[in-house]
Amino acid sequence: MRIAHLLKKEWIEIIRQKELLFLILAVPFIEIVLLGYVVATDIANIPVEIVDLSGSRIAGQVVREIGICPILRVTRVNRAPQDALDILKAGRAKAVVTLRDAPDGPLRIMGIPEVQVLLDGTDASTTLVASGALQGVLARVVASTGPPDSRPPAVTLKTQVRYNPDLKAIFSYGPGLVGLLLTFLTFFLAALSLIREKDQQTLDTLRVSKLTPLEIFIGKGLPALIVGLIDLALGIPILLFWFRIPFRGNSGLMLLSAIIYLIAITALAMAVSALSSSHRQAMFLAWYVIMTFLILSGFFTPLESMPPEAFLPRAVAAVNPFRYLMNIVRGIMLKGSGLDSILSDLIALSGLCLVFSTLSYALFRRSLKR
């Protein structure tokens, strides 16, 4: 009941600020409609998995050419049959190239294997670049198989794109807007919660009340989490009905992932609030954290494009909850992924949620003792 009364107090603080109500209820619509048309790409190191069932000389040449292509990065070469759709659904690669011996015909006589290319269309820009790079690689290999003065045989590469066959950019970036909806207002509200008590000089009242530090911590963070869920409920229908983005997965799994993510970023925002001594400092730290998460999430540019020597950005991306939410939401909405496909991302997100919550509560308790 004490938490319920504190929650009621926080809601009164939010509702009485009319401009804040506008931000909560109207900005999500404006944000999705505007950002839904924004596209930015700079793509390299696209992960490609190869299934070589041929083992011929030309098949080996194809594998080598793909391996030295600067745009592509071979993550694995399989010699046994693999389900390409399982590879794509699990997110192990953006493209799967299968090589097998051709049946009787001109290609078999020339020793040229059949080539199947399956592409993950959830990231439209990456798919276009990968398709062009693979076509160039295969064209070079085919051209080099005959005598130098002979005319290269005509080969047509038929590429099949899964999950986003029309390569609509909004299908790739739309699910990322879900993460933005859950992040901005939630983070800012939670980051300013403790600062507001300091400014209004009501923090001492909470300290001497019967509320425990844990109850205060939950009561201050819960309203921001609820606002995030409200924004999610308002934003998802826009993606589905305005932009016609499909929803092929389990909505319950989506809600579970969103709640875990909201707990993680709310806890992190509470840590920012505990470390800040003024509104200006809290706003600066919150904006810095949000922009860092956004840039290193794969929302605009695939994380695979980062060079191997970028140790610090890779380390920050590894502890970025937005990154794992992006993978989960794209998988659920576009691929219809189940728990088995998103389990690793969900475990990583849950681990970050636990770490952030523990650290944030420790900082929060320390701030109450000052």
The residue extents of the domains of the chain are: 2-35+169-369, 46-162
Show the tokens assigned to 206. Answer: 């909470």
Q: Which of 275, 254, 273, 253 is nearest to 265 (CA)?
A: 273
So what's the pLDDT on residue 16?
A: 64
Instruction: Please classify residue 291 by burial: count the beta carbons closer than 10 Å to its beta carbon, then call 0-12 exposed, 13-18 middle and 19+ buried.
Output: exposed
Considering the domain delimited by 46-162, tell me its CATH architecture.
3-Layer(aba) Sandwich (3.40)
**pLDDT tens, the chain, 370 aa long:** 777 766 776 666 666 666 555 555 665 555 555 444 333 344 678 899 999 988 888 888 888 989 888 889 899 999 888 888 888 888 888 899 998 887 766 666 666 788 888 998 877 778 888 888 888 888 888 777 655 555 545 555 566 777 877 767 778 777 777 778 778 888 888 888 777 777 777 776 777 777 788 888 888 888 888 888 888 888 888 888 888 888 998 999 999 999 999 999 999 998 988 887 777 778 878 887 888 888 788 777 777 767 777 777 888 888 999 999 988 998 898 888 889 889 999 999 999 999 999 999 998 888 777 6
Q: Is residue 219 within 8 Å of residue 211, measured between CB atoms?
A: yes
Q: Is residue 294 within 8 Å of residue 211, measured between CB atoms?
A: no
Q: Which of 290, 103, 95 is nearest to 179 (CA)?
A: 290
